[in-house]
């Protein structure tokens, strides 16, 4: 439960501390005294939105601290340890907001993020006020309320996770479908490109070899004359280079026997003579290969032109053309692999759909069974809250069955299942049931919310419930019944109720008065726990207004005398 709340430099609050008790705690005071400011401060502790405008004028920061006391064992301890915060039965949350927009959060002395605080806040306190009224008026929230009543929240979350997994699988399936469709549109072109390149029977380096052969064929006569002339000059002529070199080498060989310094020259000449002989032999062989063949030249030119066409279409080099062919061929292979993958995904999708629909239908059946109990429970609670003849129904908007199979369709399935529900109400005898959002008055909404809170009290995980504006639109005997109901609810939760009605205020064993004071020329909100005598004065004020009469005081004592 919430044991203590401390607020510093928040709106018109300079410093305020409240020590709350178990059971029903009442907050009352003049309009504008700062009661709602206390609720706003509590919202900060639960991870609500912060604004620099909330900081008291003249201050650079505002701070809110809340001390909670819980049983040392339970789900809260497990969550805190999971989040990395020590917990031995007490939970201290501090949140400071700065004028420049920064936030600083501490949980049991360790720094924390706003996301962690919000997650934790859902387990600590439930605040029911104008926001709760708006929540109840939106049909999309009614399914969540029904699931809370039926203890189906975990099953809904499990279905939600399964639905997300299915959506991910469906997206993969559709992505592969799109890829296959795009690939199939290109298949005719891809196959043509592959066949065109393969018909050419290209080999790496072929274009360079053909270019060289074309040059030889174009200049065959000139090449033959060059080779023949060179061979004759170097070898065949009477005064050939080889003959002169050979004679010179023999003379130097003779000289080398006479002067050892000529040995190096002799060896060099011998090497030159051998290499010259090799060159001459190569010239003779090359000369024999030179042919003047117009038909071969025509074939080479045609082959080169065919290769140039392929290069213009598929790559600047022959290697790039062959690489392009391989890439195109891989597309065909990938398409087959994608088709196989699509088949597997199709099987997985159908299996997931079947399992998901079965899961959703099982949850839907439980909801419909729970709805009958919820209708009866709400009507009974409303009966106790002076709405005796009210009829309450949970209206299910049926999913459209497939006319061919009679089964529900995947199109009707959402993250929370197949069901869409809306609360219907008939507060007056003889009137037909109509949507709650259209006909419920403020007072009726307040009582419906209180009825739902009472019903959910036995299963709700939060230990503290705050009611702000629970008395909206009610008065007299109805207010007294609401007060009794709040006291009954306090048997399951710690309840903090802000009220202007004496019938409600008199029910709480713990009563705080919120008022504004002027201290050294500035307005401040103060709070004090009322002892019996001041409490009689406050109840009398709520009964009679600004002027407290003896009759009002007597009535107040009577009302408090009946309170625990």
pLDDT tens sequence across 527-548: 999 999 999 999 999 887 667 8
Alpha carbons within 13 angstroms on the beta-carbon side of residue 395 total 14
Q: Does residue 187 sit in the same domain as residue 329?
A: yes
Specify the residue for token string 């995947």: 410
The mean pLDDT of 183-199, rounded to a whole number, is 78
Q: Is residue 397 part of a domain?
A: no
- Supply the range of the domain harboring residue 87: 1-124+507-527
H-run or E-run covering 439: helix 436-439
pLDDT at 94: 96
In order of 167, 177, 335, 349, the CA distances from 174 in angstroms are 10, 5, 15, 11
Q: Is residue 451 part of a domain?
A: no
Specify the residue for token string 């207010």: 479
Q: Please list, residue by residue across 57-95, b when 16 or more beta carbons sit within 10 angstroms of its beta carbon and e when fewer do.
A: eeeebbbbbbbbebeeeeebbeebeeeebebeeebebbb
CB-CB contact of 152 with 370 (8 Å): yes
Q: Is residue 392 part of a domain?
A: no
pLDDT at 3: 93
> Number of folded domains in the chain?
2
pLDDT at 156: 92
CATH of the domain at 35: 3.40.50.300
Show the tokens assigned to 118: 């919000």
Confidence of residue 505 (pLDDT cuts 50, 70, 90): very high
- The mean pLDDT of the chain is 86
Question: 101-120: per-residue pLDDT in tens?
Answer: 889 999 998 899 998 898 88
Residue 431 per-residue DSSP state: P
pLDDT at 563: 46
Q: Is residue 170 part of a domain?
A: no
Q: Does residue 105 sit in the same domain as residue 11?
A: yes
Question: 77-105: per-residue pLDDT in tens?
Answer: 778 888 888 788 889 999 999 998 889 99
CB-CB contact of 504 with 483 (8 Å): yes
CB-CB contact of 84 with 110 (8 Å): yes
Q: Please state the pTM of the whole predicted model.
A: 0.62
Domain boundary among 300, 333, 366: 333
Q: How would you classify the pairing of strands 13-19 and 2-10? A: antiparallel
* Whole-number percent of the chain with pLDDT over 90: 29
């Amino acid at each position: 439960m919430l044991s203590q709340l401390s607020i510093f430099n928040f709106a018109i609050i300079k410093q305020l501390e409240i020590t709350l008790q178990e059971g029903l705690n009442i907050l009352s005071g003049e309009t504008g005294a700062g009661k709602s400011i206390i609720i706003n401060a509590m919202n900060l502790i639960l991870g609500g939105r912060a604004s620099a405008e909330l900081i008291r004028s003249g201050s650079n920061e505002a701070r809110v601290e809340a001390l909670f006391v819980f049983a040392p064992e339970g789900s809260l301890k497990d969550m805190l340890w999971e989040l990395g915060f020590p917990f031995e039965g007490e939970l201290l949350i501090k949140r400071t907001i700065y004028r420049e927009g920064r936030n600083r959060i501490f949980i049991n002395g360790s720094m924390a993020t706003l996301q962690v605080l919000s997650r934790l806040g859902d387990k600590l306190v439930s605040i029911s006020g104008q926001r709760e009224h708006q929540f109840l008026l939106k049909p999309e929230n009614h399914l969540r309320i029904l699931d809370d009543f039926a203890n189906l929240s975990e099953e809904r979350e499990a279905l939600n996770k399964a639905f997300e997994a299915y959506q991910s699988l469906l997206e993969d399936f559709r992505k592969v479908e799109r890829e296959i469709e795009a690939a199939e549109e290109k298949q005719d072109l891809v196959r043509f490109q592959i066949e065109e390149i393969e018909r050419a029977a290209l080999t790496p380096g072929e274009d360079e070899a053909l270019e060289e052969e074309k040059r030889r064929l174009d200049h065959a006569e000139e090449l033959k004359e060059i080779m023949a002339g060179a061979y004759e000059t170097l070898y065949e002529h009477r005064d050939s280079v080889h003959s002169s070199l050979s004679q010179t080498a023999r003379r130097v060989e003779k000289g080398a026997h006479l002067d050892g310094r000529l040995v190096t020259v002799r060896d060099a000449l011998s090497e030159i003579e051998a290499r010259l002989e090799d060159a001459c032999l190569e010239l003779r062989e090359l000369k024999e290969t030179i042919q003047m063949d117009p038909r071969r030249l025509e074939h080479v030119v045609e082959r080169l032109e065919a290769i140039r066409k392929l290069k213009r279409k598929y790559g600047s080099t022959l290697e790039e053309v062959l690489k392009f062919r391989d890439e195109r061929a891989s597309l065909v292979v990938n398409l087959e692999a994608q088709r196989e993958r699509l088949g597997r995904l199709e099987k997985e999708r159908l299996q997931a759909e079947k399992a998901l629909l079965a899961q959703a239908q099982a949850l839907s059946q439980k909801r419909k069974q729970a709805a009958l109990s919820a209708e009866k429970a709400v009507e009974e609670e409303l009966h106790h809250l002076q709405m005796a003849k009210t009829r309450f129904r949970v209206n299910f908007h049926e999913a459209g069955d497939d006319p061919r199979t009679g089964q529900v369709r995947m199109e009707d399935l959402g993250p929370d299942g197949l069901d869409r529900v809306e609360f219907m109400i008939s507060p007056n005898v003889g009137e037909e049931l109509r949507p709650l959002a259209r006909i419920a008055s403020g007072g009726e909404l307040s009582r419906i919310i209180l009825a739902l809170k009472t019903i959910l009290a036995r299963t709700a995980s939060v230990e503290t419930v705050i009611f702000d504006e629970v008395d909206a639109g009610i008065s007299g005997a109805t207010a007294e019944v609401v007060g009794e109901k709040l006291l009954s609810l306090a048997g399951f939760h710690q309840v903090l109720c802000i009220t202007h009605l004496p019938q409600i205020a008199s029910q709480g064993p713990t009563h705080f008065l919120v008022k504004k004071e002027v201290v050294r020329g500035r307005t401040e909100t103060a709070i004090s726990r009322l002892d019996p005598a001041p409490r009689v004065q406050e109840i009398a004020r709520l009964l009679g207004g600004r002027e407290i009469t003896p009759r009002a005081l007597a009535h107040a004592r009577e009302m408090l005398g009946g309170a625990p």
